[in-house]
Structures are given as structure tokens and as C-alpha cells.
Structure 1
Amino acid sequence: MNRVVAVVTRGALASTVLMCTGCAVVAVTGAVVTVAATVVSTGVKATGAVIGAVIPDSKD
């Protein structure tokens, strides 16, 4: 009986570890996407500011 309990406990532990690993991968992927989106957004805003400073507004 103790052997069965040990096997079930190890199986539950292994399942938990595998599920947590999947969650960690999703969390890291989400963080990478957020950082990439922030970098792209900042780059676009900076480029827009430089273009706005270089090209004068036409005021008629």
C-alpha cells in the first residue's frame, strides 16, 4: 500500500511540475511580447518626433 501511495504522490508531483513549467513558458512569452511591443512603440514615437522636427509645418 505504501508503494502505491508513493507512486501516486510522485505522479502528482511530476504533473504539477510539468503544468508549472507550461505556465512559466506562457508568462515568459507574454513578457517578451510586452517588451517587444513597448520597444516598437517607443521607436515609432521617436521616429515621428524626429520627422516632425525635421519637416516644417506648412502654414498658409
Structure 2
Amino acid sequence: MKFLKSLAVVLCALALSGCTLLAIADAAGSAVVYGVKTTVNVLDAVTPDIINKK
């Protein structure tokens, strides 16, 4: 019975660390996307004729 409890604790710890890694990766990906959007918006504001060729 003690072995099963130990196994359950290890599995829970692995599941939590996996979720934490996914959350960190998601936050990093979001930061990159918003960083690129901000860069494009700033370039568009500074030099609108380069990005908006009309």
C-alpha cells in the first residue's frame, strides 16, 4: 500500500511539472506574438508608407 501512495505522489508531481512547463511555454509564446505585433505597429506608426503600400 505504501508503494502505491509513493507512486501516486510521483505521478502527481510529474503531471504538475508538465502543466507548469506548458504554462511557461504558452506565456513565452504569447509574449513573442505580442512583441512582434507591437514592433509592427510601431514601425507602421513611424513609417506608414513602408508597410501600407497603397
Consecutive unaligned residues of structure 1, counting only runs of 5 or more, are 1-8
Q: How does 1:19-38 map to 2 (within 5 A)?
A: 19-38=11-30
Over alpha carbons, which structure has the higher Rg?
1
Structure 2 unaligned spans of 5+: none
Aligned to 2:35: 43
TM-score, normalised via structure 1 length = 0.79
With structure 2 as the length reference, what TM-score do the two structures score? 0.87
When the two chains are superposed, the root-mean-square deviation of aligned CA atoms in Å is 1.1
Pairs aligned (count): 51
- Percent identity of paired positions between Structure 1 and Structure 2: 29
